Structure 1
Amino acid sequence: MQYLLLIYTDDALLGELADGEFDTMMRGCLQHADALQAAGTLLDSRQLEPAATARTLRTRGGRTQVTDGPFSETKEMLAGFNLIEADSEEDALRIAREFPWARTGSIEVRPVRDLARVRARVGA
């Protein structure tokens, strides 16, 4: 089964890291990701530009509005994702724990829906 590991970071917590600690964490994260990819567990991994570069689109009542950035009450912003293959939710959580980013934010582990089954159900 596939799981998406959504990586959220808190800029304030990142700012509290000692000099060079972020680079050390990132280097270890990338090396770990390379190993997971070589094993066939990591299917894709992307890092996002800062939330300040985002644009949010909403359509309500037939009117579309585009605003700068995400407007959220949380201090944690989506920073990237890892798409993994795991045997179970417990396995996906174990893999998520191996990444360092829960220290400076959170990692949301979410099952990926089988789009082929959805297509079949709706006749698309």
Structure 2
Amino acid sequence: MKYLCLANYKPADMAALPPADRKALVSQCPAKDAELKATGQLRLSASLDGPAIRLQPRGGKTQVADGPFAEAKELVGGFFIIEAPSRDEAVRIASLHPAATLGEDVGWNIDIHPIGFFEQYEGKPA
């Protein structure tokens, strides 16, 4: 089964972190990322940049709105998809991500969501 893992953070706490502390925190990430990759169960990894855009139907048309959309103390800063045979294994694998062990002061954490349907698309549309 595949799992979507959302890596969250608290933007206000991250912004309040002194630059040297932020650099020290982030510099620990490549080694943790390498551990996650070494499992062979990482399927995709990405960071998010900037606020989200929301599309929603309104009055028969698609409405576009720039985020943030609700008062939230956390934002999704990145995501990754892993493959694991069980919930426990998914937790073990996701725990290798930096947001599971570092960044407590800036609210790093991971939400793990089982994926019911997954189809991967590559290439250009016909």
Smaller-chain TM-score bracket: 0.7 to 0.9
Name the count of aligned residue pairs. Answer: 114
1:62-98 deviation per Cα after TM superposition (whole angstroms, max 9, x unaligned) = 1221111230221211111011122321222233333
TM-score under structure 2 length normalisation: 0.73
Which has a greater percent of helix?
1
Task: Flag structure 1 segments of 5+ consecutive residues without an equivalent.
Answer: 117-124
Within 2, Cα distance between the matches of 1:92 and 1:21? 30
Percent identity for Structure 1 against Structure 2: 37
TM-score under structure 1 length normalisation: 0.74
Q: Which residue of 1 aligns with 2:115?
A: 112
**Runs of 4+ residues deviating >4 angstroms:** none
Alpha-carbon spacing, 1:36–1:108, altered in 2? closer, same or farther (3 Å): same
Alpha-carbon spacing, 1:5–1:112, altered in 2? closer, same or farther (3 Å): same
SS at match of 2:27: helix
Alpha-carbon spacing, 1:84–1:24, altered in 2? closer, same or farther (3 Å): farther
Give RMSD over aligned pairs.
2.2
Task: Flag structure 2 segments of 5+ consecutive residues without an equivalent.
Answer: 120-126
Query: What is the letter of the counterpart of residue 71 of structure 2?
Result: E
